[in-house]
Amino acid sequence: DSCPPIPNCGIGYTCKVVKHPDNCPICKCVPCDDKPCIPKEGFGCTSIQMATGCRMCRCEPCRELKSCDAPCAKSRNSAGCPVCDCPGTKGPFPTTAGNPEVESREPFDYQNDAENSFDP
């Protein structure tokens, strides 16, 4: 009198459990009611996959951003929150080449380098 396991539905479908006469729950796979993730003003929204196999929209309040210091410009991140987008922050760090003051300083200070390292 053991029940058969409830199957997993495919992506985009969720399991609607229906009672069966022999008291075993059976699963009917129904399409998800996935609503598009609409960004709300002042909130950052991302679509997340839930355990049911359906997606839901999770919105969290954005941190308030008054203004950005030059040379940074205000833009929006993937969730829709305002962020300061600064040139030179993506990719390699700005070099000190052509700055004789920095190059002639001995001994070279490696401490700052270690703090900027993102190697695991």
Distances (CA, A) of 98 to 94, 101, 103: 12, 9, 8
The secondary element (H helix, E strand) that includes residue 52 is none
Global pTM value: 0.44
What are the DSSP E strand ranges found in 1-120? 13-19, 25-31, 43-49, 55-61, 73-76, 82-85
CB 83 within 8 A of CB 63: no
Instruction: Read off the pLDDT of residues 33-71 as tens digits, 9 standing for 90 and up.
Output: 877 888 788 899 988 888 777 888 899 999 888 889 889
Task: Share the mean pLDDT of the chain.
Answer: 74
118, HSE (Cβ side, Cα atoms, 13 Å): 5
Q: Is the pLDDT of residue 23 over 50?
A: yes
